[in-house]
Amino acid sequence: MSSSTRNSVNSDTMTSHSQGAPLLELRNLSTHYVSAAGTRVVRAVEDVSLTLHARETLGIVGESGSGKSTLALTMLRVLPPAAQIVSGQMLFEGEDLVQKSEEDMRKVRGKRIAMILQDPMASLNPLFTIGDQVGEPLREHEGASRKTAWEKAIQLLKSVRIPSSETRVTQYPHEMSGGMRQRIVGAIAISCEPRLLIADEPTTSLDLTIQAQYLNLLRDLQQEHGLGLIFITHNLGIVAKMCNLLAVMYAGKVVESGPVSRVFNTPAHPYTEALLSSIPRMTEQRQRLTAIDGQPPDLSNLPRGCAFAARCPRVFARCMVEEPPIFTPSPGQTARCWLAAPNTAHASSPQVSVGAL
Amino acid sequence: MSTTAAPVPIAVQAAPRSRMARLGDVPIIPCTILGIIAFTAVFADFLAPHDPQFGNLTARFHPPAWQAGGSMEHIFGTDHLGRDVLSRLIFGARVSLVVGFTAVIVAGVIGTTLGIISGYLGRWADQVIMRVTDTWLALPALTFAIFLAAIVGPSEMNIVIILGAVYWTRYARIVRGEVLSLKEREFVRLAIVAGASKWTIMRRHILPNVINSSIVLATLMLGVVIVTEASLSFLGVGVPPPKPAWGVMLSDGKQGLMVGYWWLTVMPGTCIMLMVLSANLLGDWLRVKLDPQLRQL
């Protein structure tokens, strides 16, 4: 099962998945960090709209500080005190999560939406046995007894392919290898059979072989349980392997989104293009790595116009003065770039059809 | 290619090790000393050769048995009222042990609880608790204890409450600091995204991780608390006088030190030292044992 064949299968079947009510629909979601004095506002997530159906995998990519992780925290409403959701809706199975009370939200976390954190190696409490920790969400959300939770924990460890799970449940995290701890965190995430799994850079701390194993495991779990999966990463290789949808974030906004194959083959935003060309290729003789020049803008003091204009190789006058709305260069693909405007003339064209929001 | 081989049931060493086996190498000397102190405290009525509170005024300042003028009647000699020092030491163990341990536990429970709440909830809870702690720490502990003792009056029970009220701030400070770093740890964040409530997290994830520090601090505080109890007793606001407490004996004997009645201070002093030292050694050992990462070593 090479990644390329699977990938094409994914993109072909994607259209059939898209039918029916979406699992998660973000509408114009914005999350800002506000300084204590209220004078500085960091627009970490700004006007993000995304749709995900069950069994689909969405990859969210972007540089550090582009708002990927804040978006993930927003989806579970576990933001630090300084951050708040200022506008937008998050429809999860038809319910708006933004409007939910904290107590109701707590019942969603871990039960209906689960999350795998950036450093799963450190995600386990050193003082409790594996069995206790894997069973904890069951006891918390489903009121399972200690015994039932323990037995379920053994089953869960089996499902994440941990050998001799009966012995492993009685052990402590420090007795496990990194890959095992990783899979245990995966077992905790699926313990309450969630509908949506958010993985925030789940493989950054793993070596490549373990990484591949883990990604396969996650994909198998997704297919078994029919999960929606959101992958937050800066590794485009993982996106190609795992995802059928892609959203590229830059300076808090989704600058381009769409089916992975389409975005990879015909990127509509110069930033996506630059990201794709910065992947080192084995075939090329040139040793120097391509990078995108410049720095992302200060999110508390965004420039006028397009946030990427200062680094964009194809910038033109309009980019500096007017912020591009969302265009739809091809069905299912969106881009926040004037180049993607229907009448592609770079000259000033006052009539702009704004993409459906 | 499949990722892992079929789970072959490999017999990974017989797992359930008993809790006692894990405790293994108990430190013998501290345990023996504390055991003896505890034993004498419990069975003081049977062990003491004389009445600790009444002495024979004709038999004042008798030296210990091995010194010239001493007798086997009073092995550790007698004090300024002719009371048997050994008997007073035996009964004093009861006072020191009860007051010391309970006060340390009372302070520990209050301080740890407030420290966790302060550190984990943050915001106004943190502000209130930490400002109270600051105020508490700004007052000299002994002066504050005397002040409280003057209000509630001297009795063993009150001493415990006073010492608990004075020293909880030490725990609160240290525990809060640990909680602040703990709550940023990934496993706490995982518990949050898994939908655990604040109280569940504090009880299941924070408390077990700070309890070791509390225990280690408690062993260090034991010495401080015993000395404070002694000081309060000396100043007449501690354990009421006829009752034998090591602190009272120490204070009573200090005037005799200049004229060669060394046993009146050295004996209770040695007892306090041995008890505090043993508690510290035991605490150190316990700290290592309670840490699952060090347990294997």
Q: What would the pLDDT profile of B60-94 be if each residue is shown by its tens digit?
A: 777 787 877 777 777 788 887 888 888 888 988 88
Mutation pick from A2, A100, A136, A183 vs chain B, by most beta carbons of B within 10 Å, is A136
Nearest residue of chain A to residue B206 (CA atoms): A125
- B22-43 pLDDT, tens digit per residue, is 556 778 888 899 889 889 888 8
d(Cα A96, Cα A299) in Å, to the nearest integer?
A: 27
- B213-254 pLDDT, tens digit per residue, is 888 788 778 878 887 887 787 777 777 777 788 878 887 888
Q: Which residues are CB-contacts of B10 (< 8 A; sequence separation ≥ 6)?
A: A163, A164
- Strand-pair category, A41-52 with A113-116: unpaired
d(Cα A253, Cα A327) in Å, to the nearest integer?
A: 14
Name the percent of chain A lying above pLDDT 90: 6
- Closest CB to A213: pick one of B3, B8, B189: B3
- Closest CB to A164: pick one of B4, B9, B189: B9
Mutation pick from A123, A170, A174, A213 vs chain B, by most beta carbons of B within 10 Å, is A123
In this complex, do B209 and A127 lie within 8 Å of one another by their Cβ atoms? yes
d(Cα A223, Cα B162) in Å, to the nearest integer?
A: 63
In this complex, do B195 and A119 lie within 8 Å of one another by their Cβ atoms? no
In this complex, do B192 and A174 lie within 8 Å of one another by their Cβ atoms? no
A11 pLDDT higher than 90: no
Q: What are phi and psi of A133, to 5 degrees?
A: -75, -35
Residue ranges covered by each domain of chain B:
27-43+76-290
In this complex, do B195 and A124 lie within 8 Å of one another by their Cβ atoms? no
The pLDDT, as a whole number, for residue A8 is: 40
Three-state DSSP state, A69:
helix
The pLDDT, as a whole number, for residue B115 is: 93
Residue A40, chain B, CB below 8 Å: the answer is no
Nearest residue of chain A to residue B15 (CA atoms): A167
- A143-190 pLDDT, tens digit per residue, is 888 888 888 889 888 888 888 888 888 898 888 888 888 888 888 888
Name the percent of chain A lying above pLDDT 70: 87
Residue B208, chain A, CB below 8 Å: the answer is yes
d(Cα B70, Cα B62) in Å, to the nearest integer?
A: 6
B21 pLDDT higher than 50: no
Alpha carbons within 13 angstroms on the beta-carbon side of residue B187 total 24
Q: How far is CA B78 from the centre of its chain?
A: 29
Distance of residue B196 Cα from the nearest chain A Cα, in angstroms:
7
The pLDDT, as a whole number, for residue B114 is: 93
In this complex, do A171 and B15 lie within 8 Å of one another by their Cβ atoms? yes
- A118-127 pLDDT, tens digit per residue, is 776 788 888 8
d(Cα A276, Cα A282) in Å, to the nearest integer?
A: 14
Residue B260, chain A, CB below 8 Å: the answer is no
Q: How far is CA A198 from the centre of its chain?
A: 6
- Closest CB to B10: pick one of A111, A122, A164: A164
Please report the number of interchain residue pairs, chain A to chain B, with beta-carbon separation below 8 angstroms.
Answer: 99
Tokens of B77: 């000699």
A316 pLDDT higher than 90: no
Q: What is the CATH code of the structural domain delimited by B27-43+76-290?
A: 1.10.3720.10
Distance of residue B191 Cα from the nearest chain A Cα, in angstroms:
8
Confidence of residue B131 (pLDDT cuts 50, 70, 90): very high
